[in-house]
Chains A and B, each alone.
Chain A
């Protein structure tokens, strides 16, 4: 099946530094990728939709200058947490839809990466 990878799997950084997280679709092209974050014992919250060749679409309440998204190619989207603070510590997951195939709804074909755990000290 389709595979989505994330790098790094975990990262610890000092407050004030920037952290880049990569999301790659390994065996398919994705014009759209989604970025989620999950706090402990809470749901996955959609942060933004990454669009190849155009600006990302951010959900309400998500600071676009804080969470920079770049979808530079059909297989790579990056999320950069700028000037990270301890409250940014979270589990960040990306997903990429394979796309419509045989009438399968798009939602079913979203493949998730393994996630990146960020700890800001």
Chain B
């Protein structure tokens, strides 16, 4: 039973444009959501997070939106850069444990 889902396994975006990565969850007890970036042969690195009491959090080029009624969150990257090419995981938490999505591979081309 996948509690956190990323339905798009891959996304290709032109440099300078917006990248939108989506994530859906099923457990209404989740109270914290995070996005991680992962390069091959490396562990995930924390990118940005949002608490369930908020609907938006922005950090530079990265913005995370949370729609609790839809149990949906998204990560916006604008403008996208070639260095953003990686696998992005969303994760949800109801305690100290993290439940990860399946990841979306983002490729930003020139």
| Interface SS, B side | strand
Known contacts: A41-B9, A108-B34. The answer to whether A9 contacts B101 by CB under 8 A is no
A44 to B38, CA, bound (A): 11
Q: Which residues of B contact A (CB under 8 A)?
A: 2, 4, 9, 32, 34, 41-46, 49, 51, 89, 91, 93, 96-103
Q: Indicate whether A45 sits within 8 Å of B100 (C-beta atoms), given known contacts A105-B32, A112-B44, A114-B41.
A: yes
Pick the most buried of A34, A44, A46, A115: most chain B CB atoms within 10 A of its CB: A44
> How many chain A residues have a CB neighbour from B under 8 Å?
26
CB–CB A110/B9 < 8 A: no
Q: What are the residues of chain B within 8 A of A111 when measuring CB–CB?
A: 43
Indicate if the CB atoms of B97 and A49 lie closer than 8 Å.
yes
Known contacts A4-B43, A44-B89; A110 and B102 CB within 8 A of each other = no
Consensus secondary structure, chain A interface: strand
Residue contact B100 to A108, C-beta cutoff 8 Å: no
Contact of A107 among B2, B4, B49, B101 (CB under 8 A): B49
Chain B residues whose CB sits within 8 angstroms of the CB of A32 once the complex forms: 96
Residues of A within 8 A of B (CB): 4, 9, 32, 34, 36, 41-46, 49, 93, 95, 97, 105-108, 110-115, 117
A43 to B89, CA, bound (A): 8
Residue from the list B2, B45, B49 in contact with A43, Cβ < 8 A: B2
Q: Tell me the complex Cα distance, A34–B97, Å.
A: 8
Q: Which residues of A contact B42 (CB under 8 A)?
A: 114-115
List the A side residues contacting B97 at CB < 8 Å. 34, 46, 49
Measured in the bound complex, the distance between the Cα atoms of B42 and A111 in whole Å is 11
Q: Are A97 and B9 in contact (CB under 8 A)?
A: no
Contact B96 A108, beta carbon cutoff 8 Å:
no
